[in-house]
Amino acid sequence: MTLPANEMSATKLTCHACGYDLRAHPPDGKCPECEASVAESRRLAAIPLRPAWRDSDARWRRRMLAGAWLLVLLPLMDVVKAFKWGSNLSVPAVFEFGSNFRSFGDTFLCNMRVYQMVVFCMGVVLLFSKERGRRRGPWDWTRRWGVICSYVVSLLGTVQILPICALVLAGIAACFQDMPPKYQPQFTQSFVDVSVAYLRYGPDPKVASLVALVAFSSITILLACIALFDALRSSGPKWLAAILLAPLALFTLMRLTEAGLYYSGSSGLTEIDLFLLGMYFQPELLVSHIAGHPTEWGSLQKSDFSVFLVEGAKWCSVFGIALWLTIAQISTWRQRKNTSTS
């Protein structure tokens, strides 16, 4: 049904592509700025800016839920190591000689914070998933920048792992060089150049890279708070969502302040402490206190209980968010099941 001219001019209508005011244009017209369809802008304007959780994109709901629970599971590997469960669990050994199995605690996944880095980056990327069937909001730009920041965190966080990859690459290049020259692959010299260059310059990262890791991981969580608030307020009161997200936002500002003070030389933190703070979440400090094994990392051992409280508050906040979204998802599933059976 076409609206009268006076009603159409009084209704707020902006172009879905460029934001141009389309109130004075007919429904079958086009935007004079970008040639976008006025009818499409009207269709999108009828869609709520923030649909209820049960009416939102199902794929987006699943990804938000998965991202929240991945962050909840960050301490899992530290729990396995703290209580020595990994030594009792055998896994197949691919390159082990003399035995077909090895302890899970000796695997690459259990060491060098590989598990924490992978789970953290996967979790936050899922939180920045795009929601279909919803109008663009003023904060949608945070999703793209959140994904970019998470990729930067994954790149900076693999600095300690890349020397192993460089050694493997150098070994492969050495095997190729043992072959007759006419049978050597063309990329053999490239393997040699890349591995040697990284082994020479890469294993000793600058302080600036650690500061950047702290900054980007904190900014990533700060942007994720916006995406999580968008999800929580669609399934509950806004004030409760703000209270639940407040610890995460507060501690991101604290991390950014600590990184800035360290870079300016005004902080008492050591370089190891800065590396620990790099990923925003430090599940090893939380688990070590529960297991009764005080941390031995730099100056953090001087304030072990305060660190435990901070990490506990962050984990409880993430757990509360995941539980909230899980209850909302179960409620949606039950409601739709009852509707389909009735």
What percentage of the chain exceeds 70 in pLDDT? Answer: 82
Contacts of 161 (CB under 8 A, 6+ apart): 112, 114
**Using CA atoms, how far apart are residues 266 and 290, in angstroms rounded to an integer?**
31
pLDDT of 1 reads 36
Q: Enumerate long-range contacts of 108-111, CB under 8 Å, 24 or more apart.
A: 109/77, 110/77, 110/80, 110/81, 110/86
Where b means 16+ CB within 10 Å and e means fewer, 12-43 reads: ebbbbbeebebeebeeeebbeeeebbbeebbe
pLDDT tens for 280-303 read 888 887 887 777 766 555 555 445
| Residue ranges per structural domain of the chain | 1-46, 56-159+205-341
User: Does this model's pTM top 0.85?
Assistant: no
Categorize the per-residue pLDDT at 5 as very low, low, confident or very high, splitting at 50, 70 and 90: very low
Does 240 have pLDDT greater than 90? yes
CA dihedral 65, 70, 71, 76 (to 10 degrees): 140
pLDDT of 41 reads 79
Categorize the per-residue pLDDT at 47 as very low, low, confident or very high, splitting at 50, 70 and 90: low
pLDDT of 9 reads 41
pLDDT tens for 19-42 read 788 887 888 888 888 888 888 877
**Using CA atoms, how far apart are residues 162 and 169, in angstroms rounded to an integer?**
10
Higher pLDDT, 93 or 29: 29
pLDDT of 7 reads 41
Instruction: Residue 291: count other Cβ atoms within 10 Å of its Cβ.
Output: 14
CB distance 145 to 167 below 8 Å: no
CB distance 86 to 287 below 8 Å: no
Categorize the per-residue pLDDT at 6 as very low, low, confident or very high, splitting at 50, 70 and 90: very low
What is the full DSSP assignment across 20-63?
-B-TTS-TT-B-TTT--BHHHHHHHHTS-SS--GGGS-HHHHHH
pLDDT tens for 155-185 read 888 776 777 778 888 888 888 888 888 888 8
pLDDT of 8 reads 41
**Using CA atoms, how far apart are residues 233 and 167, in angstroms rounded to an integer?**
49
User: Of 77-81, 198-202, 302-306, which gets the smallest average pLDDT?
Assistant: 302-306
Q: What is the mean pLDDT of residues 184-210?
A: 79
Helix (H) / strand (E) element for 64: namely helix 58-72
Which among 79-83, 134-138, 294-298, 308-312 has the top mean pLDDT? 308-312
Which residue in 322, 154, 317 sits closest to 251, CA to CA?
Answer: 317
Report which DSSP code applies to 102. Answer: E
pLDDT tens for 95-104 read 555 555 567 6
Helix (H) / strand (E) element for 156: namely helix 141-157
Instruction: Give the CA count within 13 Å in the CB-facing half-sphere of 90.
Output: 7
